Structure 1
């Protein structure tokens, strides 16, 4: 069920997306409401499941994870049990930043962060290629991030 958001809700979400630690008083000032209605709206959006949590955004570059590789994964078995086995196993690999089941020429697309190509090759050989029901992989190395952003409702 899609959440119904008014312009003030969207402003609140846009501000929280930029800075989840913004004080309520400052947020209220920015969106043109008092603190109580802003707090109430935030709590309602949390209860609706629209806001699912708050987290620290880490810099992969400062952590030495400068290499981004997208990996197409094709499966040897696409029955539900096989997909669930793969899903469970891929979630346990910390270098996999994102994983999507897709429609197209392969079954999954993974975003993998690593220190360098040697590190990526190790991840591919020791962790990705041995995931359940993987028949083959194809890797695409990113040269530059042109857009990287958190979703903010427009």
Structure 2
């Protein structure tokens, strides 16, 4: 369900997406609010579920993750049980950072990170290929990230405040 955001809330979210470690004082100064109303708005955004949490972004290479692989998976059947089982198994694997149910040729698109190609081969052999109901798997190794951003484009699709 979509939550209506006013201009101040969009500015708060834009600032926090860029740096979630801002103090309330710094945030209030950046968006031209006093600290108390700024804090109330942040709390409201958290309570309404707009802000789901705060994370630290790591440099994958510096922590030994050298490969990012996009994996298309097609299931043999699309029964409720097959879909549910596949999705539950995906949730158990931390190397799968993202999983999307797709339209088109593949049923799912996975984003998998591993330290090296051999680890991805092991992931396929020990997990993906052993799942019942998997009909086809196509893997695409990323050569380099051209653009990677976690910030959502707020206000891009809404009418601007007068």
Q: Do they superpose with TM above 0.5?
A: yes
Task: Give structure 1 stretches of 5+ with no counterpart.
Answer: none
Listed one character per residue, the Cα deviations across residues 110-145 of structure 1 (whole Å, up to 9, x for unaligned) are 011011111111111111222342111001111110
TM score, norm. by length of structure 2: 0.90
- Separation in structure 2 between the aligned mates of residue 46 and residue 22 of structure 1, nearest angstrom: 16
Match of 1:109 in 2: 109
Task: Give structure 2 stretches of 5+ with no counterpart.
Answer: 156-162
CA contact under 8 A between 2:18 and 2:151: conserved in structure 1? no
- Quickly say closer, same or farther: Cα 1:122–1:39, change in 2 above 3 A: same
- Greater than 6 Å deviation, 4+ residue runs: none
- Quickly say closer, same or farther: Cα 1:132–1:48, change in 2 above 3 A: farther
CA contact under 8 A between 2:69 and 2:140: conserved in structure 1? yes
Match of 2:146 in 1: 146
Give aligned pairs, total.
154
Q: How does 1:75-86 map to 2 (within 5 A)?
A: 75-86=75-86
Q: How does 1:1-154 map to 2 (within 5 A)?
A: 1-152=1-152, 153-154=154-155
Residue 99 of structure 1 and its aligned partner are, at CA, apart by: 0.5
CA contact under 8 A between 2:97 and 2:113: conserved in structure 1? yes
Q: CA RMSD in A?
A: 1.1
Listed one character per residue, the Cα deviations across residues 21-60 of structure 1 (whole Å, up to 9, x for unaligned) are 2100000000000111111111111111111111222221
- Quickly say closer, same or farther: Cα 1:132–1:8, change in 2 above 3 A: farther
